[in-house]
Each structure stands twice: as structure tokens, then as C-alpha cells.
Amino acid sequence: MTASRPVADTLPVTRLAWLDLLGPILRAALWGLAGFGAGALVTAVAFGGSPFGERSIAVGFVAGTLGWVLGGGAWEAWVRPWFGGSSSWDEGVGTARYLRFATDHKVIGIQYLWAAGLAFLLAGLIALAVRLELLTPAVDVFGTAQNYTSFVGVHGALMIFAVAVVAIVGGFGNYFVPLLVGAEDMTFPSLNGLSWWFVVPGIVAILASPLLGGFQTGWTGYAPLAADSPPGQTLYYLGILSLGLSSLLTAINVIATTVYLRAPGLTWGRLPMFSWSMLFTAVLSLMWLPVVTVAMFLGLLDRLVPTNFFGATGLPLLWQDLFWLFGHPEVYIIMLGAWGIWLEVIPVFARKTLFGYRWALLGFLGITFLSSAVWAHHMFATVGEVRLIPFMTTTELISIPTGFMYLVAIGTLWQGRIRLRTPMLLVLFSMLNFLVGGATGIFLADVPSDLQLTDTFFVVGHFHYTIVGGMIFAWLAGLHYWFPKFSGRMYSERWGRIGAWWLLISFNLTFLPMFVSGIEGMNRRVASYLPYLGDLNVITSIGGFLFGIGFVIPLVNLAWSWRFGPRAAADPWAGRTLEWRTSSPPPRENFHPEPVVTSDFYGYGTVEPEPPLFGRPKEPKPAEGGRP
């Protein structure tokens, strides 16, 4: 019998293991706190006032973010080598990789997915508190209407800026764009590693805003109300600026990688649909994120200097123009990735050639162009008549290229050998939900009906069918579809289907009644309402609680399967795109040897495709004189 080791001997090993795992992220947090404190104190001393004043908090946030980034490993891995020093940074292995500065696009993609998942959880809990408040007409959960408005704003800002973009573009985009184009990594790996470290400060700033009184403007930051909001408004600006910078850095990498690092034989006419969707998303981000960044910066100056760009005696409507110049393309920044997931999953589970590849590209192109010309439909209640008809027209026109996504999806499904696995179910549910969002959007695109429905729960229902029903269901489809590639394991298909159906039913129970309550006069962002709207709000709240519970199913299923699920084959779905032509999870260099694409990715036809889509690189031809 072997004697067991003394407990005292095992403790240092355990502590060292935890230190190795959490050391970099704890150091980043400490450096961030130190930077915040130093920046706030120096500002207070230099300009007078409290270390907790808005100027001190703004400077402290910048210094704290810099400390957070450098403490997480950017100093050793990136900055020091710039000045001739050696890079001593160890990116780690296993779980430790995800808690420190990394340059592997796959690790960064998982970091983004973790951040998006945590932000989604927190924003979802706030949403449940909102539905608990709206169970009764009285304000009895948040205490005051101002608190209610602040938390509604936090929920919206997190969902739009820290979940919707981060989940698909940051998570799936980082992980799969290089794999889908046959590249070893992103074009700028260090810049890519830096991008994620701006996400966490952005989320923290938005979450911390209620500690400074919150912000009364909602997630749209409307002026001139912003000028009279509590100091939490400053954290709103800083949080959005930080998240926007992360998205810009990711967009640069997506474009450069797609353009310059495609594998031999991967022509533009063979590029996978998800790669196209990420490319157009990145283009939209580069076009319009700088606009909202300028708006946030000017709004910040209004509070800190103070200037008067958007105040009551300034140009408050300019804020709406700048915000929605980004805000409506933002909807398509979110949904383009979701459509890319549709068109990747459907051919695989329908075992049928993708119908209308070029029609899908025309749809992407049309949406990218028209989404930049519809922003004023968010302002029908405030703009003059000269702008009503043109923007109503462009808003109606954008339904045409959006319809191309359905044309391609339904054409591929038609007479296919459909396998209703969890990813396919979730894509079909995403299509159904987004169809409802699009149909109800017609009423908001039409000026007379929009003027009656604006700022009611009809808009809330439409928006959630579009973003949550369309994008979140597609995100879940992507998580299940690519889960074997992330983890090397398979999830429980039974629980995957149960979770998909639960979410579909509870989602519609939550948001379908909002159209009725909106027509009946239920205003958005208002904590109390007249008693005759009580029954509709009770139904919506019950649905909301069930919808929130429903996310526990995929969370537990995927978390359990990541550790204990059966081993997955390299290509469990018999897909044809390049990510399935390497091991699961992929090695550091993704492919060995470099892939050479020899055929279309979507030509399933009526028979099973030949598995290999690429071969070894050709031997170099001998030069003149017979020497290689």
C-alpha cells in the first residue's frame, strides 16, 4: 500500500497552480486599480476637486485601462520588444491561456465569447429585475423611476455594445475567420491580442454607472437629457468608447486577414459565407464606429470641460444624427454575422448545394450600402417633413436585400435532406423570429404608423425580435455548430433540442404580447403604467422569467460537455469548409501543411461530397539550370 503524501506537501502545489492560473489576470486587475487611483488623484490635485469627481474618474479610467492592459501581459509580450527588449511572456496552456495576454486568434475568440457570455448573463439578470418591476403598475422594486431608467439603460448598453457585437464579431470572427480562409493567424496577432483587453473595462464602466447615479438617457445617450444626468453618464461615455475601440481593432484584422491571408486556391468566388459576412461587418464597423466615437467624445467634453455641443443651447439633434448614423448600421453589424451563420449551417444539415451564392453576396452588399442611408427613421418624431419620405423609402428598400438572405436559405432548404440537429433547429428559429421582427418593422418604417407607435413597447417587441430573436438564436446555433471545434467534444443532442424549443416558446411568450401592449399605449422606459395594462405585463413577465431560465439548459449542457462530453471527430457534421479539415481543437498553427483549396465549399448536391477539399502545397518548380 502506497503512503499518501502529507497534506502540507500538497498545499504549495495547489497554491502555485492557482497562482499560475489566476496570476496574470489578478496582476492586470491590480495594475488597473493602481492606474485608476493614480490618475484620479493626480487629476484631483492638478485641477482641484474630489478624486471621485467626473474629471478625476475620466482620467482615472484611462490610466486604469492602460494599467489593466499592460498588467495582463501586453508589457512583456508587446511593449518591451518595441524598445529592443526580449519578449519573456508565456501565453500558458490549458485554461491559463484565456486569463492572460494572448496572440493566438483561437484563444482570443474564446476570450471574447467568455466576455460576451458574462455580459449577457448580467444584462439578462437586469432584464429579469425589470420584468419583476413591471409585474405591477407601482414602482416597488427599483425604489424610484430614476433607478429603473438607469438600469434599463445599463441593460440596453450592455446588450448592444458588449454582447451583440462581441459575441459574433469578436468571438466567432476571431476564432473562425483565419480558419475559414486557411490562415495561420490574424494578420496582426499582437493588435488582435490587445483588442480583447478593452472589452472588460468597457463592461465594468457601464456596470459601475449606477454607483454614480446611473444615466437617465437610456442606451441611446440622448441629448440634451444627458447634460442633466448624474455622473454615471460619464461612465456610459467611457464604457462605449472602450468597447468601440476593441471593435475597431478587430475590424482591421478581419479585413486584412480576409484580403491578404487567403489560402492558395481560395478565390473570392469560393470564400465561405461566414467570411463574407464578417468582411462586410468589418467594413461597416470601420465606416461608422468612428462617427459614434466622435459623438461619445464630444458628449464627454460637454460634461468635463464643459463645452456645449449637445446642450439645450447647442445642437441636441446633432447627437441623434451622429448616434443613429452608427446606430442603424449597428443592427446590420449584428445581423450580418447571424446571416453568415445561417448560410453556413443550412447547407451542412440540408446536405444540399447552397442556393444562390451570388444572390447572398448581392444581399450583403445591398444591406451594407442601404444600412448607411436609413438612420433618420429613428427620428421621424423630431425631423422635418423634407426628410420623412426619403428615409421612409430607403427603410422600405432595405427589406429587399434582407429578403435575399431568406431567398438563399429557403432555396437551400427546398427538397434538402434536412437533419434537425440542434444547430439547424436554432437557425430555423432565428429565421422565424427575425421574420416577425422584419414584418413588424414595416409599421415603424411607415411615417404615419411610426408616429403613433414610437416610444411604445411595440418598438421594444420589434427590436427584441430582431436582435434577440434573430442574433442571439443564431449565436446559440453557432455555439452548438462549432462546439466540437472549440472543445474537441460533443454536447448532449437531446438537451440541445430541449433547450432550443424551450427558448423559442418562452421567447415568443415574452415578446409577442409587447406588440399588443404597445398598441394599447404602454410606453417604453417608464416604470409605472395604468392598471388596464396589467394582464399583458404579467404575461410578458412570466414569459421573461421562463426565457431566462431557458438559458440555463444550453449553459449547463455546453459547460458539462466541454469537460465530460464524448470526444468529437475532426468533422462531426461532414462539413466542407476549411475549419473541419483540421483537428478539433485546432493546433497552434491551424493547418499542417498549408491548405490548397481545389473546389467549391458548398457543392453537396445529391451525393455525399468527397472529403478532401485541399491537398499539400505543390513542390516548387525547378529553376533554370535544374536547381530548385
Q: What is the DSSP string of 308-339?
A: -SSSTTS-HHHHHHHHHHHHHHHHHHHHHHHH
pLDDT value, residue 600: 85
**For the segment 447-470, what is each residue's pLDDT rounded down to a tens digit?**
999 999 999 999 999 999 999 999
Q: Which three cell numbers stand for residue 135?
A: 409585474
Sign of CA dihedral 173, 179, 180, 182: positive
pLDDT value, residue 18: 62
> For residue 189, how many other CB atoms are within 10 A of its CB?
19
Q: Which residue has the higher pLDDT, 151 or 372?
A: 151
Query: Rounded to an integer, what distance in angstroms lies between the CA atom of residue 470 and that of residue 555?
Result: 19
CB 129 within 8 A of CB 140: no
The CA distances from residue 125 to 131, 201, 204, 512, 574, in Å, are 10, 20, 16, 20, 38
Residue 628, pLDDT > 80, answer: no
Bridge partners of 597?
Answer: 614
CB 404 within 8 A of CB 362: yes
CB neighbour class for 199 (10 Å; exposed up to 12, middle 13-18, buried from 19): buried
pLDDT value, residue 5: 40
Residue 10, pLDDT > 80, answer: no
Residue 171, pLDDT > 80, answer: yes
The CA distances from residue 199 to 112, 185, 511, in Å, are 8, 21, 29
CB 145 within 8 A of CB 527: yes
Average pLDDT over residues 325-351: 94
Residue 1, pLDDT > 60, answer: no
Q: Which three cell numbers stand for residue 213?
A: 447615479
**For the segment 554-592, what is each residue's pLDDT rounded down to a tens digit?**
999 999 999 999 999 889 999 999 999 999 999 999 998
Query: Rounded to an integer, what distance in angstroms lies between the CA atom of residue 578 and that of residue 78?
Result: 30
CB 193 within 8 A of CB 28: no
Query: Rounded to an integer, what distance in angstroms lies between the CA atom of residue 123 and that of residue 548?
Result: 11
Lowest mean pLDDT among 17-31, 142-156, 320-334: 17-31
pLDDT value, residue 17: 62
The length of the chain, given as a count of residues = 628
CB 183 within 8 A of CB 257: yes
Residue 33, pLDDT > 80, answer: yes
Query: Rounded to an integer, what distance in angstroms lies between the CA atom of residue 156 and that of residue 140?
Result: 21
Q: Where are the beta strands (DSSP E) in 443-584?
A: none
Sequence-ordered list of residues with C-beta below 8 angstroms from that of 351, at least 6 positions apart, any chain: 416, 417, 418, 419, 604, 608
CB 332 within 8 A of CB 284: yes
> For residue 8, how many other CB atoms are within 10 A of its CB?
7
Query: Rounded to an integer, what distance in angstroms lies between the CA atom of residue 74 and that of residue 72?
Result: 6
pLDDT value, residue 382: 82
Average pLDDT over residues 414-432: 95
pLDDT value, residue 491: 96
Sequence-ordered list of residues with C-beta below 8 angstroms from that of 344, at least 6 positions apart, any chain: 272, 273, 274, 481, 577
pLDDT value, residue 19: 62
Sign of CA dihedral 26, 28, 30, 32: negative
Residue from 166, 31, 170, 25 nearest 98 by CA: 25
In the chain, the percentage of residues whose pLDDT exceeds 90 is 75
Residue 620, pLDDT > 80, answer: no
pLDDT value, residue 14: 52
DSSP, collapsed to helix, strand or coil, labels residue 381 as coil
Query: Rounded to an integer, what distance in angstroms lies between the CA atom of residue 113 and that of residue 99?
Result: 13
Query: Rounded to an integer, what distance in angstroms lies between the CA atom of residue 229 and that of residue 55?
Result: 15
**Plot region of 306 (φ>0 → left; ψ -120 to 50 → alpha; else → beta):** beta
pLDDT value, residue 627: 35
Sign of CA dihedral 412, 418, 419, 425: positive
pLDDT band with cut points at 50, 70 and 90 for residue 515: very high
pTM, to two decimals: 0.92
Residue 305, pLDDT > 80, answer: yes
Residue 69, pLDDT > 80, answer: yes
Average pLDDT over residues 173-177: 96
Residue 606, pLDDT > 50, answer: no
**For the segment 38-63, what is each residue's pLDDT rounded down to a tens digit?**
999 999 998 887 888 899 999 999 99
Bridge partners of 456?
Answer: 523
Query: Rounded to an integer, what distance in angstroms lies between the CA atom of residue 569 and that of residue 559?
Result: 19
Concatenating the DSSP letter of every residue in 430-450 gives HHHHHHHHHHHHHHHHSHHHH
Which of the 8 DSSP states describes residue 228?
G
Q: Which three cell numbers stand for residue 83?
A: 524598445
Q: Which three cell numbers stand for residue 121?
A: 448573463
Our CA angle for 625, 626, 628, nearest 5°, is: 115
Q: Which residue has the higher pLDDT, 269 or 387?
A: 269
Residue 410, pLDDT > 60, answer: yes
The CA distances from residue 189 to 183, 256, 596, in Å, are 12, 11, 23
Q: Which three cell numbers stand for residue 454?
A: 414610437
pLDDT, averaged across the chain: 89
Residue from 1, 572, 496, 482 nearest 274 by CA: 482
Residue from 478, 486, 490, 476 nearest 572 by CA: 490
DSSP, collapsed to helix, strand or coil, labels residue 305 as coil
Q: Which three cell numbers stand for residue 405?
A: 438572405
pLDDT value, residue 625: 39
CB neighbour class for 351 (10 Å; exposed up to 12, middle 13-18, buried from 19): middle
DSSP, collapsed to helix, strand or coil, labels residue 473 as helix
CB neighbour class for 474 (10 Å; exposed up to 12, middle 13-18, buried from 19): buried
Residue from 300, 290, 293, 292 nearest 233 by CA: 300
CB 488 within 8 A of CB 94: no
Residue 123, pLDDT > 70, answer: yes
